[in-house]
Homo-oligomer: A and B are copies of this chain.
């Protein structure tokens, strides 16, 4: 049977003031009326039944996740006592599902990405489930620009196809490149963005964790033997990302090149790009009045009127208690704002 594990542990600060500790990015509505998390679940329709959908998140966000996931059994929201990066999270969820279904195939999906072409995504996901008979099948997004913000997967030799979609061996994983290297990757071809989405037989993931992160496997054994001890055991699990801990050392990975209008929506600049801009390149959400503005992103969904006059490349994001006005391209400095709020202990705004 097919299962999906949505990883909703994010606590990013790059979407301040819309994102807060209590409402990280996966709960924001970017590119849709619904939250990114709700969209992540909604686009599984027809591929995986809702009762096979699991979400891993922190205690602070569990209720919010349940609210956003109508139709998903509340007990499928798995609450991590503390974040230990993705390897323990995926290992734990895999054990959870394995206990019910030894033949489970699981797709792991981030909760906070945007996908424009839902139908194509569903077709790719279906193909990846089919392909994942005894391998971990990663999606590799076919690049359309020399992006320096993502890690890449270099595809290896062809390994047939699944439902018409080619599947390749993984030649190697590549760290985020510099601009020149990214240009080279794009020109050369065969380099795919690592979107952090993959499908695997539960048993294979469990075996690969045992093979490559045996300490984690032992921790998961202890947890399985005494689930009530989660608050003492979970915080001791090996803290490691699945990519370096399992995917890179594993010889059982495949990559499926894919394109379905994916964005990891890493910043306000990226958020603008998931919307259709008007003739002046502007994206205006809510009650906005623009006068002499080009390539602006104005989010007035908090309800107040926002008038912008004579500014190009402006980003304005309003919320009931805080407002961000930023030059496009300065997204990374939002972190500085949040750092200053933290330093000033402005907890109401964090």
Which residues of A does B touch, CB under 8 Å?
16-17, 289, 291-292, 304-311, 314, 316, 318, 320-327, 329-330, 333-334, 336-337, 340-341, 346, 349
User: Are B322 and A306 touching (Cβ within 8 A)?
Assistant: yes
User: Are A323 and B340 touching (Cβ within 8 A)?
Assistant: no
Question: Given known contacts A307-B17, A311-B327, A330-B310, is B336 in contact with A291 (CB within 8 Å)?
Answer: yes
Sample of 19 more A-B contacts, CB < 8 Å, known A17-B305, A308-B325, A310-B326: A16-B307, A291-B337, A291-B340, A292-B333, A304-B320, A304-B322, A304-B323, A305-B321, A305-B322, A305-B323, A305-B346, A305-B349, A306-B325, A309-B326, A309-B330, A309-B337, A310-B333, A314-B325, A325-B325
User: Are B323 and A306 touching (Cβ within 8 A)?
Assistant: yes
User: Are A311 and B340 touching (Cβ within 8 A)?
Assistant: no
**Which one of B316, B323, B327, B340 lies within 8 Å of A310 (CB-CB)?**
B327
A-B pairs, 9 with minimum CB distance: A310-B330, A310-B327, A305-B322, A309-B326, A308-B325, A307-B337, A309-B333, A306-B323, A311-B327
Chain B positions within 8 Å of A321 at CB level: 304-305
Please list 15 pairs of residues, one from A and one from B, whose beta carbons are closer than 8 Å in the complex, sorted by A's number.
Answer: A17-B305, A289-B341, A291-B333, A305-B322, A306-B322, A306-B323, A307-B325, A308-B325, A309-B327, A310-B327, A310-B329, A311-B314, A314-B325, A316-B325, A325-B325
Number of copies: 2
Question: Given known contacts A291-B340, A336-B291, A337-B289, is B330 in contact with A307 (CB within 8 Å)?
Answer: no
In the bound assembly, the distance between CA atoms of A322 and B303 in angstroms comes to 9
User: Are A325 and B304 touching (Cβ within 8 A)?
Assistant: no
In the bound assembly, the distance between CA atoms of A314 and B313 in angstroms comes to 13
In the bound assembly, the distance between CA atoms of A292 and B331 in angstroms comes to 12
User: Are B304 and A326 touching (Cβ within 8 A)?
Assistant: no
Chain B positions within 8 Å of A325 at CB level: 306-309, 311, 314, 316, 325
Task: Kindly provide the distance from the CB of A137 to the nearest chain B CB, expressed in whole angstroms.
Answer: 40
In the bound assembly, the distance between CA atoms of A341 and B291 in angstroms comes to 12
- Determine which residue in A291, A320, A323, A324 has the highest number of CB atoms from chain B within 10 A of its CB, and name it: A323
User: Are B307 and A323 touching (Cβ within 8 A)?
Assistant: yes
Nearest neighbor of A348 in chain B, beta-carbon distance: B305
Chain B positions within 8 Å of A341 at CB level: 289
Chain B positions within 8 Å of A316 at CB level: 323, 325
User: Are B289 and A307 touching (Cβ within 8 A)?
Assistant: no
Chain B positions within 8 Å of A304 at CB level: 320-323
Nearest neighbor of A306 in chain B, beta-carbon distance: B323
User: Are B311 and A326 touching (Cβ within 8 A)?
Assistant: yes
In the bound assembly, the distance between CA atoms of A304 and B16 in angstroms comes to 14
In the bound assembly, the distance between CA atoms of A316 and B311 in angstroms comes to 12
Task: Kindly provide the distance from the CB of A287 to the nearest chain B CB, expressed in whole angstroms.
Answer: 9
User: Are B307 and A318 touching (Cβ within 8 A)?
Assistant: no
Chain B positions within 8 Å of A330 at CB level: 292, 309-310
In the bound assembly, the distance between CA atoms of A333 and B292 in angstroms comes to 9
- Determine which residue in A308, A310, A318 has the highest number of CB atoms from chain B within 10 A of its CB, and name it: A310
Task: Kindly provide the distance from the CB of A229 to the nearest chain B CB, expressed in whole angstroms.
Answer: 42
User: Are A318 and B323 touching (Cβ within 8 A)?
Assistant: yes
In the bound assembly, the distance between CA atoms of A346 and B327 in angstroms comes to 29
Nearest neighbor of A330 in chain B, beta-carbon distance: B310
In the bound assembly, the distance between CA atoms of A289 and B316 in angstroms comes to 14
